[in-house]
Amino acid sequence: SITMASEAVAVLLLVFLSGSTFGIKLEGNGYTDVLIAINPVVPENPLLIKRIKDMVSDASSVLFTATEGKFYFEEITILVPPNWSQGDYGRTKTETYEKANIVINEENRAYGDQPYTLQYGQCGSESRYTHLTTKFMLDDELIKLYGPRGKVLVHEWAHLRWGVYDENDDGGFYMEPKIVIPGVKKGYTWNQKGFSYGDSRRTFLEPFFLRVYAVFLNCIILSFDKLLFMYTLKVTRFCSKKTHNREAPNAQNRMCDNRDVMDVIFTSSVDAKANVQPLKGPHPAPRFTVMQRGQRVVCLVLDVSGSMHGSRILQQQQAASLFLTTIVEDNSYVGIVTFTNYATTLKPLTVIHREESRTQLVNYLPVEAIGGTDICKGLKKGFEELCKDNGNTMGDEIILLTDGESELDCVSEVKESGAIVNTIALGPSANKELKRMSEISGGKYFYASDNLDQTELVNVFASLTTTNGDFTHQTILLDSSGMKRKGILNGTVSVDHTVGNKTTFLVLHESQSPEDIEIKSPSGQIYDFIDFQPSSISKTHSLVIQGTAETGDWTYTIKNTLSDQSITITITSRAVSEAIPPVTVKAYMSQQSIDGSKPMLVYAEVNQKGVPVILADVMATLESDAGDQYQLELLDNGAGADAFRNDGIYSRFFTTSKKGRYNLKVKVQRKDKGKNNGQVRLKRHSVAPYVPGYVIKGKSPIVMNPPKPPFSEDDLQDDVGSFTRTAIGESFSVSLPPDLNAEIEEDKVMLTWTAPGEDMDQGTADSYEIRVSMDLEALRGNFSGAHLMNTSDIQPLEAGSTEEYSFLSSYIINAEPETVMFFAVRSRDKDSLMSDMSNVAKATKMLRFVPFVQTTSTSTISQYPSPNLKRSSGSNVVAVVVSVIGTTAVIIAVLVVSRMRLNRPGNTPHFTETQVSTSLL
């Protein structure tokens, strides 16, 4: 069905224009909301800010030229660390380090100071981020190695925004045809085999420019020039079909089916539907804003309406308790608000500075539920509390949990607040507009079932961390599991040497306490029931391991043999020290809504400070609000959905025909595998090419750079031992696949499709927009420019119903035989918001022939005037005429061969003359 408008706001604005979940917007020809974030390990340095601005300004001009005047950088936000204090920095809104498109950080072992972009795969898909180091930004000597910063940034932007790939990878540099290099001794040329002079090969310069910058995807038009103090490439534009070398052995051709960069940008990338025209005149200079995120300020806005009574209010209390005692960071401010058909402040903003403050907040969590539901009143009360620290809500957070379906008439207020609203929909009846509200505020959206034996809600609260790029102070979810029956719940969780501080075992139960709990350390130390801290109100038992937890396998056993009840256990920990970064896992879906138009992929990124962790067992669990559950083993083998083998990014395709909301949980385990244990990069992602040499202006000879340090897997070996991690991804939705169908019966065109809803598959659409074209690509590329059908008499049916619409073909044009028509539909909601375009349906009015008439007269072909075909919206008259002539020729050939076979007395062919009469009806 056609995705409905309210959902389409998120898809259209946040995906097609703003770059999926990454925040980048394309407004006209300029990119806005580009976020560059500096890691807190970087010392405060005003020069770094200046260098960032200079780099982007230079890159904007390079980008403008390389894309033939279509794109430039317009608005850039620079996010500085919270510990910087010397500058006059503005206050952030929804900008956070984890949302950064470009990060400035110290070098890591996998890349050193080489700029790179983390690409998950799939040509045309946006990448996660671009990584630049402080040394790259401040040390001009690195310009000799990688080229001017502006050009490097544009090179990486092509990977980041458009999902194109390098052409200077392990397949080797391939340049064609020969290029004469000014400034080098006359007669020397360079081709794919190296420098040469006439017929004599000169190998002394063979490494020069071998992995040179050009490789701006090897297919750009390039020339050499003395620029500044070094040889570099003057980039004029990205390659097109005319300039692309489809034979070059490189990643661009392998990953993008031998397509050129311009083709990927304008047909497959996130900017493909923008229909950007070249800018007339010069582009404006970029505008910069330097901002700083303050201490975390968050308000829990919790639903206590009557529908939350019983198990739901208990689940809410247990999950919120975990958040307050373990997850929320020290020195954060936290408040608690509840709502029914009115809202109440249970606890004003309180700073987290000791365990006592955490316990105090837990004691204020609600335990009773009664009354109606008004989500907006709860949000407004939350905003009131957030204002009490500094008078505004900019950059503050709301964590909203509700199971209700109340009206959401405060979406505009949420957007204007500048606060980040993370929403949790508990159970199948929660308002589906919550997803839209989270997206427009820069927050996250989660769906959690209300089954007590599941750990979904606890896992969601465990994932609501915020980070400035320093994972050493962040709580990490190691494992969670549960059961709903009498019996024994047991399992094993591995604690590796990168974690171990504040390791916590939290047991949740539904009614009476379990009979016994036993935790056994790797050395055999036993922690039993008496070591746990109980809470009769929240029905929890918690154990915090003092000091640093032992490295190795911990086992747990929970005995519950007296009653059928839900029992769950959740294990969390923190980094062992600030000097050792922990192994982390991030879970993602390739898109937040599936409509059947393109495949959905599940990703899990496993690394230790940018260095991938390989050879892990990764299992993804996806569960819908209808209870459908799917388990997928994610792979890192370089096949199928996985782009690169052993890069620490595990992936798999996810397909389903069952609509609804889905949640995502990824569990990663790794057992000690002897000498193969550890982490290693066997395949690097897209990187800035290394320039082997340069020329000082006005001087010769060429100055060679030091050889690029060889890449060694041994440098990346790090025995992390056995470990366990669990990660939660944002929830996503599956809508009905596009199913528009078109048929022609005599002179009538019949269109049928499944009715969408006001919100995806819920409610009723307000109206439809149907357009038709004789040109398939014109309809796909410019829906609004196609012929508009009159649909004023159509009253949309309820979601899921079958819609039918018919009309005479002459209503569009004088549709002659063999006329091909293409149709597409969009739906509109009550706020006049449009959905995405449906699939394109094709209808053809076919030719019909009269029977053949045999005679004994001279062979002739009756000639009839060509049909009076009228051109409309790109109709292809020539194709129709050729089709008619071709069809007639085939008929003649068939008749001749048939007669030859029927009248053959021997080996001598014998012809019977016939007359073939055709008629177009």
Catalytic residue numbers, as ranges: 156
Mind spelling out the 3-state secondary structure of 305-373? CHHHCCHHHHHHHHHHHHHHHHHCCCCCEEEEEEECCCEEEEEEEEECCCHHHHHHHHHCCCCCCCCCC
Rounded CA separation 483/534 (Å): 20
Structure tokens belonging to residue 349: 């903003």
First-to-last alpha carbon distance for the chain, in angstroms, is 36
Residue 3 near residue 11 (C-beta atoms within 8 A)? yes
Burial track 774-808 (b if 16+ CB lie within 10 A, e otherwise): bbeeebbeebeebbebebeeeebeebeeebebebe
| Cα–Cα distance measured from residue 89 to residue 610, given in angstroms and rounded to the nearest whole number | 28
Strand partners of residue 593: 733
Q: Provide Rg for the chain, Cα atoms.
A: 32
272 φ/ψ angles, rounded to the nearest 5 degrees: -65, -35
Q: Alpha-carbon torsion 877, 880, 881, 882, what sign?
A: positive
CA-based nearest residue to 32, from 76, 83, 90: 76
- Alpha-carbon dihedral angle through residues 122, 128, 134, 139, given to the nearest 10 degrees: 30
CA distance 150 to 130: 14
Going by C-alpha positions, the residue among 246, 192, 249 that lies closest to residue 219 is 246
Strands (E) in 252-387, as ranges, are 287-292, 297-303, 333-339, 343-351
Annotate 653-722 with DSSP letters as a single string. Answer: EE-----EEEEEEEEEEE---GGG-S---SS--EEPPPP-EE--TT--SPEEPPPPPPP-GGGG-----S
| Burial of 549: CB neighbours in 10 Å, binned 0-12, 13-18, 19+ | buried
C-alpha span between 70 and 67 (Å, rounded):
6
- Measured CA to CA, the distance from residue 454 to residue 488 in angstroms comes to 16
Assigned token pair, 815: 């549709």
**Residue 763, SS3?**
coil
Residue of 347, 226, 151, 242 lying closest to 697 (CA atoms): 226
Cα–Cα–Cα angle for 525, 531, 536, rounded to 5 degrees:
150
Contacts of 129 (CB under 8 A, 6+ apart): 100, 101, 102, 103, 117, 118, 160
Residue 133 identity (one-letter amino acid): T
Question: Cα–Cα distance between 195 and 204 in angstroms, integer?
Answer: 8
Query: In the structure encoding, which two tokens stand for residue 5, read together?
Result: 């408008």
Structure tokens at 646: 């052993």
* CA 735 – CA 567 distance, rounded (Å): 34
Contact 569, 480 (CB under 8 A): yes
Give the span between the Cα atoms of 740 and 842, in whole angstroms. Answer: 9
Q: Report residue 676 as tokens.
A: 């193969």
Q: Please give the DSSP secondary-structure letter assigned to residue 879.
A: H
In total, the chain counts a number of residues equal to 921
Q: Which residues neighbour 319 within 8 Å (Cβ) at sequence distance 6 or greater?
A: 457, 458, 460, 461
Eight-class DSSP state of 861:
B
> In the structure encoding, which two tokens stand for residue 563, read together?
């009653």
Dist CA 317 CA 204 (whole Å): 72
Q: Tell me which amino acid residue 867 is.
A: P
